[in-house]
Structure 1
């Protein structure tokens, strides 16, 4: 099987002191959006409104943080030709926009009545988590297979 790694890394334009911003910024939104599933289950198990309110806040903070992090990713996608030429980069971006759209809708769904989870609140949370996993796999491929934003020893 051929090695898909490039002989040199692809530098990020959205970076501080050479450290790419997008991979740094995504951890907190991902954690928040994945925890929505756990807090939804906590609400269904205990029927305590705390968990429903926690899901509302996690969904909102996760969606907003994800949109902010996407700006750095978009800068790299648009301004770095080698990233723009990778189908993996475009697939990652499209999945991330789909995921953030579902996450934003999940927050809006809960905004008026946080305890109105069944069936749509739970479905939106699970769909968001699945899309995070797929986008994460493609993001990992960009880093590990294509050396986007990393320095390789040459």
Structure 2
């Protein structure tokens, strides 16, 4: 009898995806709501950026298990690059709104990198779904 394997990566990605998505929404809302929204966005960016490191480490482990010649390998590479781009963009957005350790109102570069991170995150998520449901990578 074989036991089903449950990879860690799909369980961990929910934290940064939720935090970053809500951060982008809060960033856009801050244009009307001001300080409470941009402060929340900054906190969510910090949490998402830290939790993404664990999700990315688990994803790298899953990536290393894909055999050469697997038809999903190209999509896995694209997924990984888009996820790393999202991390860089969201981390940059966080850094752009920090003065020392204090969150400040984001200027347009911080907002732009947040939105760009969201676009990369969405594309990475779409490819992640394709890896699981079409290529059967990262499942049991």
Q: Once the two structures are superposed, what CA deviation does each residue of 1:20-71 show, in whole Å capped at 9, x if it has no partner?
A: 1101100111011011122112321122x22221111101111111121000
1:33 aligned to which of 20, 35, 41:
20
Q: Once the two structures are superposed, what CA deviation does each residue of 1:52-111 show, in whole Å capped at 9, x if it has no partner?
A: 211111011111111210000101112332569710111111111111111111111112
Tell me the distance in 2 between the aligned counterparts of 1:44 and 1:85.
41
TM-score between the two structures when normalised by the length of structure 1: 0.79
| Contact 1:77–1:84 (8 Å) recurs in 2 | no
Tell me the distance in 1 between the aligned counterparts of 2:81 and 2:88.
11
Aligned pairs for 1:1-154 (under 5 A) are: 18-47=5-34, 49-81=35-67, 86-112=73-99, 114-151=103-140
| Contact 1:84–1:90 (8 Å) recurs in 2 | no
| Contact 2:72–2:137 (8 Å) recurs in 1 | no
CA apart distance, 1:127: 0.4
Tell me the distance in 1 between the aligned counterparts of 2:75 and 2:115.
23
**Runs of at least 4 residues of structure 1 off by over 4 A?**
82-85
Tell me the distance in 1 between the aligned counterparts of 2:45 and 2:127.
22
Structure number with bigger Rg: 1
Tell me the distance in 2 between the aligned counterparts of 1:71 and 1:87.
19
| Contact 2:97–2:107 (8 Å) recurs in 1 | no
Q: Once the two structures are superposed, what CA deviation does each residue of 1:127-149 show, in whole Å capped at 9, x if it has no partner?
A: 01100111011111100110113
* Alpha-carbon RMSD: 2.1
| Contact 1:110–1:121 (8 Å) recurs in 2 | yes
